[in-house]
Amino acid sequence: MRAASAFVVPVAPGGLDLARMRWRMALPKNGEWLLLEDGSALRALRVGGRPLVARVRPGPSRPEEPDEAPGPLSVAIEVWGEDAPLVEAAASRLVHCLSLQRSPAGFYRLAERDALLRPLARRYRGLRVVCDADPFESAVKAIAGQQVTMAFAGTLVRRLATAFGAQVAVPPEACPEPPRPLFAFPAPEALARADPLALVRMGFTRAKAQAIVGLARQVADGRLDLEALARLPDEEALARLVALPGVGRWTAECVLLFGLGRPDVFPAADSGLRLALARRLGREERPGAEEAARLGEAWRPYRSLAALYLWETLHDPAPPAPESPAS
């Protein structure tokens, strides 16, 4: 394997808190990431049908300045591979995965005028969405996560990756002794050849197994171009996704948010998101999906980050206290 190709990527304004993002990178459903003790992280990628490994490192930190978000000014990305175009494509995927060029600055300006979001934006400043590498990966993970806990969804995804993905060779200079094997997410062609019963034996419901294999077959034979969703407005992209077997509104919204990195998606039916809203509003009962959607309207066009910051409170041992509307 040739030496790594290196890229230095400027971070869009708004700060970048990679330390806070690392726990999301380490989620079981994100088994393609491997976090290293020096603060860097490896990511297995499937680009052009080939498995590659890349490493991301934070660059020099931004000087401490009033009203300026913390974090590195740039991120260094190294990709191991022989084919230069694929290496460059892999680096671009890492930029997408870490939302490096999507500035949260506008969201912070909006949050400063909103009593519910303001304490969250201040506490979690620099947190950005950790995206999946491509819409197919995101769609499969979203289907796996339907109506199960995050932990069990991660177990399902890892079983799928181990059975149908490609193990990536980790160069010694990237990590001398990886603590576990690293797998690139399965290609559509690999899952298209799968027997749905094999997924059922892994723990998937029959409906999920059929939906995943059916989706893979449509992508593999060219009937479905998920990459084309990037060129569509949100509602049209959602409509295309919801038309697929086994894909409802929540699943489609997750693909837009975590697969395409769309900035204004609010999965109002999500149970965790409604729990976070209830806690911030001081309620015992979670709001219904319709009420959650109405609340989210105030946060256009940054509802994706609003959802992310609300979700973050569920995993924060000491989330900031809610402010009163008059604050």
Mean pLDDT value of segment 202-227 = 97
- The per-residue pLDDT for range 42-98, each reduced to its tens digit, is 999 999 989 999 999 998 876 655 556 668 889 999 999 989 999 999 999 999 999
Amino acid making up residue 281: L
Together in a domain, 88 and 150: no
> Over 80: is that where the pLDDT of 1 sits?
no
In this structure, the number of other CB atoms found within 10 A of the CB of residue 90 comes to: 26
Together in a domain, 46 and 146: no
Domain count, the chain: 2
Together in a domain, 158 and 218: yes
Burial of residue 17 (number of CB atoms within 10 Å: 0-12, 13-18, 19+): middle
pTM assigned to the model: 0.94
Together in a domain, 43 and 140: no
Domain boundary residue among 231, 259, 287? Answer: 259
- The per-residue pLDDT for range 141-188, each reduced to its tens digit, is 999 999 999 899 999 999 999 999 999 999 999 998 999 999 999 999
Question: From CA 310, how far away is CA 305, in angstroms rounded?
Answer: 8
Distance of CA 262 to the CA centre of its chain: 11
Write down the pLDDT at residue 69: 65
- And the tokens for 193? 């050849």
Among candidate residues 46, 44, 80, 81, the one with its CA nearest the CA of residue 181 = 44
- 66 within a domain of the structure (yes/no): yes
Write down the pLDDT at residue 114: 97
- The per-residue pLDDT for range 107-131, each reduced to its tens digit, is 999 999 999 999 999 999 999 999 9
Together in a domain, 152 and 225: yes
- Residue 49: CATH number of its domain: 3.30.310.20
- And the tokens for 121? 């934006």
Write down the pLDDT at residue 325: 58
Together in a domain, 170 and 249: yes
Give the chain's mean pLDDT.
Answer: 94
More confident residue, 326 or 137: 137
Together in a domain, 68 and 145: no
Length of the chain: 327
Together in a domain, 66 and 162: no
φ/ψ (deg, to 5) at 274: -70, -30
Domain boundary residue among 103, 120, 155? Answer: 103
Together in a domain, 59 and 163: no
Write down the pLDDT at residue 64: 57
> Over 50: is that where the pLDDT of 327 sits?
no
Together in a domain, 173 and 83: no
- 113 within a domain of the structure (yes/no): no
Domain boundary residue among 216, 242, 259? Answer: 259
Together in a domain, 66 and 160: no
- And the tokens for 84? 């230069």
> Over 50: is that where the pLDDT of 324 sits?
yes
Sign of the dihedral through C-alpha 211, 191, 27, 203 = positive
- 288 within a domain of the structure (yes/no): no
- 324 within a domain of the structure (yes/no): no
> Over 70: is that where the pLDDT of 244 sits?
yes
- 128 within a domain of the structure (yes/no): no
Together in a domain, 42 and 153: no
- 118 within a domain of the structure (yes/no): no
Domain that holds residue 139: 135-259
- Residue 217: CATH number of its domain: 1.10.340.30
